Amino acid sequence: MNILGISCYYHDSAATLIQDGEIVAAAQEERFTRKKHDSNFPSEAIAFCMEEAGITPAELDYVAFYDKPLIKFERILQTYLAYAPLGIRSYLMAVPLWLKEKLWIPDSIRKDLDGYDSKLLFTEHHESHAASAFFPSPYQEAAFLTVDGVGEWATTTYGVGKGNHIEIMGEMEFPHSLGLLYSAFTYYTGFKVNSGEYKVMGLAPYGEPKYVDLIMNELIDLKEDGSFKMNMKYFEYCKGLTMTNDAFADLFGAPAKTMDSEVTQREMDITRSLQDVTEEIMLRMANHVHKETGQKYLVMAGGVALNCVGNGRVLREGPFDDIWIQPAAGDAGGALGAAMFTWHQYLGNERQADGKRDFQKGSFLGPEYSDDQIESYLTENSIPYRKAAPGELASDVAELIATENVIGWFQGKMEFGPRALGGRSIIGDARSAEMQATMNLKIKFRESFRPFAPSILREKVSEYFEMDSDSPYMLLVAPVKEDKRIPMTEEQDKLFGIEKLNVPRSVIPAVTHVDYSARVQTVDRETNPLYYDLISEVEKRTGVPIVINTSFNLRGEPIVCRLEEAYTCLMRTHMDYLVLGNYIIDKKEQTELQDDIDWKKEFELD
């Protein structure tokens, strides 16, 4: 049985194809269109999924959409009416788009899937999130918590998944939303909403929590169970074209920062305060969910579940034995959730989990290229290369990393979700004190404060970090172990903000944030054998079972998907080598790209 799941029209459109309950393919539309967070109907992602499954639209049994557009439209209309006439500009921009496109999902699907004449199913938005969190998880039963901006009306839900069934037990509703609170501060601190939230999280450790009381006293009324009401006099998103208003600016003493202005200590303090409040809310929610459900395990999805700092605290300080987070936790994962909800809950198919391995396949669910395809591409484009001898690729690349070269690593299937996990990654030596700034400024062309992640052999994680859990999807932050840290001197302790960046914090300074934390990815041989072997070879040469890992893309660009995008990224940056399958391309041997566009203007700031 073939089930296609689709999400679109808000942000991060995606498609997923499952066959007899197994996830066969999943991808975001942005990877094909090269438009970051593309929200359009995912025609190219659907085409990939169909090709990967080897089927035609006529062979699909069900198509499932990740939310209920009519209910969402009802919420939008009710909100505009509640604030009328104040929201007239926003209304005139939004409603025509709904009337022209967003209300006609069935027509769009049948037009794109020419030949499909079976059922269309519509799950609720947070039902899709909950299904994406529970059904692929390793647990036979678990509590779930979904937290995002807003679906139809719900902004947070919790409940229990057992076997092939999920049940929502409680929810918070719009306009009170942790996701929208976070996005409001994203906007106010000069970053792009629904894109720059991870920058807010990355900037927070440089600041002091000076505004926590102000947020708690003025902006939200937080209850012990993690629920809260927002003081809407400070927020504009119900009626205007911005997230915050003049009252918000007066409260914090300045207008919203523009995207192109310099980050100051003030923004660092604000983001730190927001992050502290967010973590407190997440912990209270987790405690309440545990109390209400009595479950040992927690699964999470929704955009707020990408807050890996908060996730780490929920794991360390919360009441659950372990947690599992959907790697495509945002709206893209809704496509997966809708398809799996159809298979398990709508159709009643059984599900057996062993408590150890999940059903996500490492989230390596996108396109891949054979060595024959790679060699044809290199030959046709007269690109100099050398092919690694059989079984020698990991050793050859480890030698390059150990001598502080930066590598574009393009292997196997592309990742589903926002994180590069060793399929489409830029990797380097975690021991290098200069590597973070080098990779940010000379390769990613982005802010120097942005942290990078360590990819570490699973069995070695507790030697370097204060955790011993699986973290294959880079969604948990953990402190670096005390014995791996470099203590700050008295003078260094006096540094503020970005001055802290260039002070080595540990024996792996390239992946240690200024607060001695790291966003950890554990790597095991079963899920990603080649990447595991590479890190093992790095350990043989350096004594450290870790490489620095960041996504294979430029600032503002989606992660690379095709061979030509990987090569172009090599040529536009100060990367040293590109490794496509078994083929190693040395930047020094290449000819400059001719008539290359002014690509730094091509991709928007986020």
In the structure, what pLDDT confidence band is assigned to residue 602 with cuts at 50, 70 and 90? low
Contact 364, 412 (CB under 8 A): yes
- pLDDT tens digits, one per residue of 12-30: 999 999 999 999 999 999 9
The more confidently predicted of residues 88 and 544 is 544
User: Could you give the 3-state DSSP secondary structure of residue 428?
Assistant: strand
Give one word for 294, left, alpha or beta, with left for phi > 0 and alpha for psi -120 to 50.
left
Confidence of residue 606 (pLDDT cuts 50, 70, 90): low
- List the strands of the sheet with 424-429, edge to edge: 386-387, 583-586, 577-580, 407-410, 424-429, 546-551, 453-457, 517-523, 476-479
Query: Cα angle at 172 between 166 and 175, to 5 degrees?
Result: 135
**For 203-246, how does the pLDDT look when each residue is reduced to its tens digit (9 = 90+)?**
999 999 999 999 999 999 999 999 999 999 999 999 988 999 99
Tracing tokens 């799996």 back to the chain, one arrives at 340
CB neighbour list of residue 54: distance below 8 Å, 6 or more residues apart: none
Share of the chain above pLDDT 90, in %: 84
Q: Is residue 264 scored above 70 in pLDDT? A: yes
Q: Which two tokens stand for residue 120?
A: 């269309």
Which CATH superfamily includes the segment(s) 371-601?
A: Carbamoyltransferase, C-terminal domain (3.90.870.20)
Each domain of the chain, given as residue ranges in start order, spans 371-601
SS in 3 state form for 489-539?
Answer: CCCHHHCCHHHHHHCCCECCHHHCCCCCEEEEEEECCCCCHHHHHHHHHHH
What is the DSSP code string of 26-59? Answer: EEETHHHH--TT--S--HHHHHHHHHHHT--GGG
pLDDT tens, residue by residue, 348-403: 999 999 999 999 999 999 999 999 999 999 999 999 999 999 999 999 999 999 99
| Beta bridge partners of residue 299, listed in sequence order | 144, 324
Please tell me the pTM assigned to this model.
Answer: 0.95
Position 452 pLDDT exceeds 90: no
CA-CA-CA-CA torsion for 337, 521, 574, 424, nearest 10 degrees?
-40
Q: Are 570 and 590 in contact (CB under 8 A)?
A: yes
